[in-house]
A and B are shown apart, each in its own frame.
Chain A
């Protein structure tokens, strides 16, 4: 990664050429920005070079969710934006990659029950995560994560270079859906609770088998790979599921799923994971609130 800074003269010239809606207030804020040129180089599989200039955001938006009726929070040219929801496991994947790769970005939390019109206009699918950078708009957790890794390979390339490993990481990803589905299945079909939890346990054992065949401690080896971050949000929520169902077979422990238990412990030590983490009580609370039809999107934020 090449990083260069500009003299204040050059900076003022550059800023003056940027377009912004509300001139003076934003202009003075932007004069405090410094530009980082983040250029990505061709990676091993012959991708074309992309030169993307990212600005470090100075404007910090309120983390409280924006709902229908709220005005569109203005974007800043050159600032990467993540549309997020603090309890969404899919958006968490993208946030983890942003944090781990130390990619400068700003975050807008969206009320997913009462979506702002501007959000639906931006991304008709209406889901988080969505990345926005100038006229680039990209939804979907795996697409955003892969694009970030391709565009900013830097020193933390997350996609494995070995094609067989890449294929098996894809197999892992395709199978984590059964874990994330458990939460929703338990709510929809409460009478089938035992059957659902049996399936979950079987799926977790399968993950344990795959991880046991790898050196570890991460699925990626001695460093986390993309798959570690794609899987993590779903595993982070397992202790909350244990709490909600009083079922001890769910959360991996050293006795029945030792490799997964060790993996969870080491993941919890990663700065990126810590930065985005919600604790067990928060997850349990959110999940319960979701079930009542009034999701508490801003739980944990100070008034």
Chain B
């Protein structure tokens, strides 16, 4: 199946009975969460990439909220990154991701809710053209990462938040962590980098995450992310950049 984006006016690519489909976008961190879980659990699936600035009508009919990721299988549809990931873990048994202990599960929820604080300053920093505003948003992000550093350290059963194996939260956090090194490149300001010695536990976590086949299969380097965001700021990003298809 082509990985090229579908835009407004495009024809709906027919689904096949029993085939799980993910509506996605190759640079979207929320969609990456679903892709990580699909890969990690070895769930067969196909991917349909959506042009998020020129959405196909059939996509909006499928999901009026208009966002990726969305899962579709036969008549079932599940939007929202956290809902899709939890549903996949509920339905597909291989490599269980959600903790079984209620207290651990509750604390993973705390961490997930806390991680939403990253989103505002992250996109704010990307969009801002004011260097001091960018720095202050970057400081906010660093402060939040310190919180995760402390939380992971306190768990004492790493390297993952899930312990010796990753849990859903590891995959919820990863896409944003992966993108942090692109900010200093995008803004041409090395001061925006988080020093590894300030977050040793997270640095060890990242190393372990990068060894996971799911992360290898879905991640991009900082330079590619920076190129993508640079294009989004011009107003006409090439959703198919870096794709090698005829």
List residues of chain A with CB under 8 Å of any chain B CB: 45-48, 50, 125, 136, 138-140, 142-144, 146-147, 150-151, 163-164, 166-168, 170-171, 174-175, 206, 209
The answer on a CB contact under 8 Å between A48 and B100 is yes
Tell me the bound Cα distance from A30 to B90 in angstroms. 44
Tell me the bound Cα distance from A237 to B169 in angstroms. 32
Tell me the bound Cα distance from A272 to B102 in angstroms. 24
Tell me the bound Cα distance from A262 to B78 in angstroms. 26
Given A167-B84, A171-B80, A174-B82, residue A50 in contact with residue B102 (CB < 8 A):
yes
Q: How far is the CB of A91 from chain B (nearest CB, A)?
A: 14
Q: Any chain A CB within 8 A of the CB of B103?
A: yes
The answer on a CB contact under 8 Å between A140 and B110 is yes
B residues less than 8 Å from A144 (CB atoms):
106
Tell me the bound Cα distance from A280 to B78 in angstroms. 35
Given A47-B100, A163-B90, residue A143 in contact with residue B83 (CB < 8 A):
no
Q: How far is the CB of B140 from chain A (nearest CB, A)?
A: 15
The answer on a CB contact under 8 Å between B65 and A206 is yes
The answer on a CB contact under 8 Å between B86 and A151 is no
How many residues does chain B have at the interface if contact means C-beta atoms less than 8 Å apart? 24
Contacts A146-B102, A164-B87, A167-B78 supplied; 10 other A-B pairs, CB < 8 Å: A47-B102, A140-B113, A146-B109, A166-B87, A167-B84, A167-B86, A168-B78, A170-B83, A171-B83, A174-B80
Nearest B residue (CB) for A46: B100
B residues less than 8 Å from A150 (CB atoms):
102, 105-106
Tell me the bound Cα distance from A63 to B109 in angstroms. 29
The answer on a CB contact under 8 Å between A171 and B79 is yes
Nearest A residue (CB) for B150: A124
The answer on a CB contact under 8 Å between A138 and B110 is yes
Q: How far is the CB of B193 from chain A (nearest CB, A)?
A: 26
A residues less than 8 Å from B79 (CB atoms):
171
Nearest A residue (CB) for B99: A47
Chosen A-B contacts, 13 in total, with CB atoms closer than 8 Å, are A47-B102, A50-B102, A138-B103, A138-B110, A140-B106, A144-B106, A146-B106, A164-B87, A168-B78, A170-B82, A170-B86, A206-B64, A206-B65
Tell me the bound Cα distance from A150 to B64 in angstroms. 32
The answer on a CB contact under 8 Å between B86 and A138 is no
A residues less than 8 Å from B90 (CB atoms):
45, 163, 166-167
A residues less than 8 Å from B110 (CB atoms):
138-140, 143
Chain B 141-166, CB-CB to A under 8 Å as 1, else 0, gives 00000000000000000000000000
Tell me the bound Cα distance from A46 to B109 in angstroms. 19
Nearest B residue (CB) for A203: B65
A residues less than 8 Å from B106 (CB atoms):
138, 140, 143-144, 146-147, 150
Q: Any chain A CB within 8 A of the CB of B114?
A: yes
Tell me the bound Cα distance from A151 to B76 in angstroms. 30
Q: How far is the CB of B102 from chain A (nearest CB, A)?
A: 4
Tell me the bound Cα distance from A48 to B101 in angstroms. 6
Q: Any chain A CB within 8 A of the CB of B91?
A: yes
Nearest B residue (CB) for A147: B106
Nearest B residue (CB) for A139: B110
Given A140-B110, A143-B107, residue A151 in contact with residue B78 (CB < 8 A):
no
Tell me the bound Cα distance from A262 to B219 in angstroms. 47
Contact residues of B between 103 and 134, Cβ < 8 Å to A: 103, 105-107, 109-110, 113-114
